[in-house]
Structures are given as C-alpha cells and as structure tokens.
Chains A and B, each alone.
Chain A
C-alpha cells in the first residue's frame, strides 16, 4: 500500500494554500532549472518506442536517437509512486521529476551514477561538454508528438456497464502503479457515463489495466466516500475509471 495512491481525502496535512488567497502559487515553474527537467521528460515521451503502435503510428524506429525504450506517463508516475512517501511530501513537484527521471534513465542503462557525478563536476568547472551527434530529425519527431499526441483509444467498446448501473469499485491488491484512487476502493457508485471506444494504458500496471478497455465516469456521494467526515452541502464526486476497476453489484 502506497500513500501516494491515497492522497485524495487524506486529512491533517498542513494548510496548502496559505492564509491569504493570493498566496496560491500560480506559477508553473518556480526555478529555471525546472524547465529543463520538464523538457527532458517531454522529449523522452516524444521518443518513446510505444509511439510506433500509438495513433498516429509514428515511424519511431527510424528516428535517429539512441533511445530505444518505452517512456510514458505510466513510467513517470511509477517513479513518483515508488518514492518514499516522506520524500514525496518533502520534495517539490519537479524535484520529484528530477529524482524519478534520473533513476529511470539509470535503471534503463542510459547513464550511471558515476557519469552523472563526474559530469556535474565538469560542468561546474566550465568544461564544455561534447555537442553530441543526434540529428534535428529527433527534434522533429518530438514536435510531431506534441502536435499529434498518442491517443490510447482503440476499437469500438463493449462495455459491461451502462449509465445508471450501480457498481462497486474493486479492491484488487495494489501494484507498483495504479490509476485507481485509493479513496474509492470498495465504494459503491453509479455509472454516469460510458466513454466511446476502448482505452489502452501504455504500461501494464499489474492491477488490471493495460489492454484496451472501456472507461467510465462513476458518480459517488460524498457520504459513501468519507462517511461522517463528508463536508455538508451538495457535492458530487466523479472519477474516471477503467473497467478493470469496476465490479457489478448482483
């Protein structure tokens, strides 16, 4: 069980938004270096080998990069969910990205801790690094990805459930990565909408998603999720859930 899967509804955390409304942090980046790790992540997404099968089918094998792996949101999210939960709260958003992305690249064998340490020293000593030899075609592929995306939508859906159906959210053992918010486990909701088509998830999570399947909007009453701790007033909570996370109610 990972704390990161149970953020929704977690109580007792310190004030998030400051005392004054104006202290809401509206900036996207708060340090210049954050833009660089964001750019690196987007580049890896645009070079990910899953794009050969994603729509539109990118000629990913022909792109002159040495990157020959999968790199999707699922991979980045897995790294954030693998983090010690104290660090998850201690680190700022892009600090988590930097830690997670660096570890992924080390795990996949693209670089080593030693190389990073020595390169850091060289850069601080102002030694100019090698310019590299990847061609502009690499950047063209990344821009194509940004422009065209990678829809996980596949053929016509055969949904098990219809709007109005009552469903119980499954309580499958948690895997390393999930798209099931923890606060919904075992709770009963009502299907509000069935999206057209089936949707893949580009990383098999081990808890049921990966292959194309229907996706639903399920509506929950706050009292069902939070019991006596639900806020008063009229509120409806909607979650977008893959079919693997829904069980029928007989």
Chain B
C-alpha cells in the first residue's frame, strides 16, 4: 500500500517528535507520569504475549478433554492453566477459541478495525491491521491463504470470523503429524501467532 503514495523524507522523525511532545505535555499536565508509557510497554512484554496462546494450544494438543473445554468455555479452560494473572484482563474479557480439524480451517479477521485477544496473543502484527488484508480476507479467504502458503484442500471449509462485536477470537491450529514424540517445549515451537489466527498452519516458524 505504501507504494501508492509519496511521503516526506522526514516522515518518521516528524512522527517521533510529535509523539514525544504529546507524551511530554501529558506528563507535565498531570495526566500520566513519566513512567506510565514504559510501565504499559513492560506489562505487555512480560504478561500479554503469544507465549500464553502457545501454552493453551499445546495443552489442547496433549489433553483431548481440555481441547473440548477450551472451545466450549474458553475463559474457564484458560483459567485452569498456569498463566500470568490477567488472562481475562484488557481485551481478554470475553475470549473465544475455535479449533481447526480435518476439513475445517478457521480464519480470524477484524474488518472494521483490529480487535485482538491481547492476553493470549499479545499485540496484533502489522499484516492483521492492514486494510488490504482485511478487505481481501473477507471475500476471498482461500486466495489470500494460498498467497501466504496455506494451500487447503478444495473440500476444506473455511470459517471466517469477523471480530465485530465483544469477543476476541483465536484459533487452535491442528497438531502437525509426526510430532507424537515431541516434548511440550518442542510443540510450543511449532505454534506461531499466525497459526493462532489462521493465516498459517502450525509448524516450524518461517
């Protein structure tokens, strides 16, 4: 998309200066403190990361009862696990998992904005927020998935979930074959943010 437009050479420097001025004024005016933004960012780095989602997926892969529960009542199932406090916190108030299975592939999008399950996946990657992805994934998900390397059998149903309401969605991808002897740590390495949104299959990170 960027290639469609021309931008000033100091594009980033200007934004950086503007946001620094904004933060500085908010601090001076007593809205936030000098530590606020750093504390927010540190919280996301330590508490709300895709590591939580990976643990949920691996638990579902290794415990069939949990796999059923995490789809039926996602918050309750997640609460069973040893994850940081706050999995029902900001943008996790109403989590909903959907599970891929043979013949069914789920894809999460947010056509209106960028709704995202922060506590379990962290913050949304750029592709998810891209208006072009959002536009195309709604109408031609099979084509978009093929473009990013997910070639699905013709008879596999694609379920597209548009996060336009109050729930925040993520995917339990299918466990790759040939991983029966993998440890939990090895299995976690196969789970990517992309696979938990449906634009990739679980497998070694590319």
Please give the residue numbers on chain A whose beta carbons come within 8 Å of chain B beta carbons, in ascending order. Answer: 4-5, 7-11, 13-17, 21-22, 24-33, 35-40, 42-47, 64-67, 73, 77, 80, 88-90, 92-93, 95, 98, 101-102, 105, 110-111, 115-116, 119-120, 123-124, 129-136, 138-139, 142-143, 145-153, 178-181, 183, 195, 199, 215, 222, 225-226, 229-231, 233-242
Contact = CB atoms under 8 A, between A and B. Distances in A.
B165 A80 contact: no
Contact of B112 (A5, A124, A138, A152): A5
Interface of B: 1-5, 12, 15-41, 43, 47-48, 85-86, 88-94, 109, 111-114, 122-127, 129-136, 138-144, 147-149, 154-167, 193-194, 199, 206
B157 A236 contact: yes
Contacts, number: 316
A9 B135 contact: yes
11 contacts: A7-B131, A25-B127, A33-B16, A120-B21, A139-B39, A143-B43, A215-B167, A236-B160, A237-B162, A240-B163, A240-B166
Given A16-B1, A21-B147, A132-B34, A93 B114 contact: yes
B1 A181 contact: no
Given A16-B130, A25-B126, A98 B18 contact: yes
Contact of B139 (A16, A149, A231): A231
Given A29-B123, A132-B29, 11 more contacts: A16-B135, A17-B148, A31-B16, A39-B37, A40-B37, A90-B5, A93-B126, A152-B93, A181-B164, A231-B140, A238-B160
A231 B142 contact: yes
A66 B193 CA distance: 38
Contacts of B37: 35-36, 39-40, 43
A26 B130 CA distance: 11
Contact of A36 (B23, B135, B167): B23
A8 B113 CA distance: 10
Nearest to B6: A90
Given A14-B3, A98-B15, A9 B127 contact: no
A103 to B, nearest CB: 11
Contacts of B132: 13-17
B162 A136 contact: no
Nearest to A242: B165
A90 to B, nearest CB: 5
Contacts of B122: 28
Given A14-B3, A65-B30, A8 B134 contact: yes
